[in-house]
Amino acid sequence: MPERRRTVLVAHGDERVDDWYWLADRDDPAVVEHLAAENAYTEAATAHLAPLRAALYDEMVARIEETDLSVPARKGPWWYYRRTEEGRDYPIHCRRPATGDDPPLEAAPPGVEEVLLDENLLAEGHDYLDVANLAVSPDHTRLAYAVDRTGAELFDLAFRQLGGPQVTESPEVVTGTYHGVAWAADSRTVFYTRVDEAMRPYQLWRHEVGSDPDGDRLVLEEPDRRFALSVGTTSDEAYVLASLQSTTTSEVWAVRAERPGDDPVVIWGRRAGIEYDVDHLPDGDAGWWLVTTNDGAEDFRLLALPDSGGDAAGAVELIPHRPGTRLDGVQAFAGWLAVSERLDGEHRVRVAPLGPPPGPPSPGLLDGSWLVPSDEHPATTYDGPNPEFDARSLRYEETSLVTPRSVLDVDVDDRRTVLRKRQPVLGGYDPAQYRTFRLWATADDGTAVPISVAHRGDLLADPAAPPGTAPAVPAPCLLYGYGAYEISIDPVFSSLRLSLLDRGFVFAIAHVRGGGELGRRWYEDGRLAKKPHTFGDFVACARHLVGAGFTVPERLVGRGGSAGGLLIGAVANQAPELFCALVAEVPFVDCLTTMLDDSLPLTVGEWEEWGNPAADPEIYAVMKSYSPYDNVTGPADGGPAVTYPRILATAGLHDPRVGYWEPAKWVAKLRHANPDNVAFLRTELGAGHGGPSGRYDAWREEAMTLAFVLDALGLAGEPGS
């Protein structure tokens, strides 16, 4: 147990005593010593699971095609793709000359493939690697890429010359960059972003390849700490876009890609509560901005306005507001649009033909549109990489909890669909042996909350029973949740999950409020003062699974990460009797203390998501009511003798999003509150928010997590385990 040092935190006249506040000081040698000791304790306490971890890892790897090839995407004269090799952790990014209409799915003959970047070579001698901002110049002669070797999400931006017999590096490296890069039309100028001391991307910079980075020019700076800056290009590559986004408000600036030295021009000035993003449609010497916005439309609508300037009052409405159908965005092509939308908790893709130029697209865009087909529900359909503006086919992908990811191309003229590749699952996997369906729980306020469910068909007494029939006997169950930032946890396939399903588990996703599964209203009902709905929804889903006979509390495990880890921590306090075990990965469990400290990364920008407890006593009270760390109780603090479910928490020492100290403090307080509580902490001392970077290490970590789950349920020694 770490040393307790009394710290009193005061806000709005309220005092909180924090005995482990000192763990946030990463410069204190005792902190890293404590984290290492926690790792050693977790390893020793779970040492008996080493054979199970090894068995789980082996079966996971045995299902994966370790040497594999993505479906190439064509851009200009090249097929671009990436591949993996057995025994190597990281992908290899490649291209080959484009011949024919069909993407090649076999390995390239000697001398045909050009390796753009082998991440395995970059990783040599390092414990961690993250490659971001991988982008080929418009003329296909240069590669930009950025490397992070700590997990802190600060990248060194580098460049390579392509097309010769040997790839050559440009001599300069731009240090301290962030996610996002965009090429100008000259294939020499690159735009990138930098962060402030709070890890907020707030500056857009311009660099010319081959020049000294000290001469780079600042293009745009955002002083408002609520806004984050990102950079990209329009689909037709006519503009470089700098997007400024807070939780509730957007602003987009544009630079003509053929004139990268020009000052950026704002498309719409920011208005509080108005969000938008844009793409561009050329029309002779002019063109149109395609604007997806919530201006006058809770679930968003699509407008077109001249790229010479204008506002919503003079725009043409292409797709009207459809309450309940969330318009996520569009990608423009020559003569048609790919429309991403969400209805009834499922993501889908719509193809919308455009009228011929000149002039704006037709206001009746939906009349001639059609949905990319999907026969399985619940399932997920989303557009894949489509880099060619003049394409006449759409690359898309579809999957479900039991159907491996399929990559398809659909012809937008005759709607003919071609399956290019289905994710291989080795060992004879048969989706027909599994079931997936949707259940609905009822929250305390009467709201219906969707649950996506999957399990093996042989759990049923009657194989012909309708979808949603409970197993013959209550099964072990893992319930996953997130519920923040309007992020949807879509039902997608994972071969790693088969290690649970094949052991008789039910796997379920609670689509709780705060996510975006059921549109903007679903999100609004789970943020700020309404945040407690998120936790109540998860509890309602757990109770529904128990009440309907799918599981029982002693066989139910909850899991979530980051904001989903906050969910798990809050549920641990609210309904500990419902769960046997909980997994909280990089959990945001000390949320109140973090949101009171505006010097920490992301805090100010997060106030529109969670509220500002420093300025608003009501938000302070709401957040204190659900903050997992602040609500741990037990005999040591004079509270009731609560025994929490068995808990596994993870952290990353270099995590810029959720401080490692949050789970470290939480675990320490859980153990102090009641010596009967079993809580483990595992901190990646060389990684950040995403955990280990190599795929084999990531699979080992998942094997460790699943071994913990099986052990908590008393299944570690059963056949097949």
* Catalytic residue (one of 307, 689, 693, 711): 689
What 695-703 contacts at long range (C-beta under 8 Å, 24+ apart), as own/partner pairs, is 695/84, 695/89, 695/90, 696/61, 696/89, 697/89, 699/57, 699/60, 699/61, 699/496, 700/53, 700/57, 702/56, 702/60, 702/496, 703/53, 703/54, 703/56, 703/57, 703/60, 703/499
Instruction: Tell me how far apart the alpha carbons of residues 159 and 146 are, in angstroms, rounded to a whole number.
Output: 9
What 460-466 contacts at long range (C-beta under 8 Å, 24+ apart), as own/partner pairs, is 460/435
* Catalytic residue (one of 393, 499, 562, 627): 562
Backbone angles phi, psi at 496, to 5 degrees: -65, -30
- The structure tokens 């009902």 sit at 525
Backbone angles phi, psi at 466, to 5 degrees: -65, 160
* Catalytic residue (one of 295, 383, 409, 655): 655
- C-alpha closest to that of 222 among 189, 179, 264: 264
Residues 6+ away with beta carbon under 8 Å from 277: 243, 250, 252, 291, 292, 329
* 114-118 and 78-84 strand pairing: unpaired
SS3 of 697, please? Answer: helix
CA 588 vs. chain centroid, Å, equals: 15
* Contact of 630 with 620, CB cutoff 8 Å: no
- How big is the chain, counted in residues? 721
Active site residue 263: no
* Contact of 474 with 423, CB cutoff 8 Å: no
Active site residue 655: yes
Within 10 angstroms of residue 369's Cβ, the number of other Cβ atoms is: 15
Which helix (H) or strand (E) element contains residue 666? helix 661-673
* Torsion (CA) 565, 567, 573, 574 in degrees, nearest 10: -160
* Contact of 62 with 499, CB cutoff 8 Å: no
The two three-digit tokens of residue 720, written as one number: 């097949």
Exposed, middle or buried by CB within 10 Å (0-12, 13-18, 19+), for 77? exposed
Instruction: Tell me how far apart the alpha carbons of residues 116 and 80 are, in angstroms, rounded to a whole number.
Output: 10
Active site residue 216: no
Write out the catalytic residue numbers.
Answer: 562, 655, 689
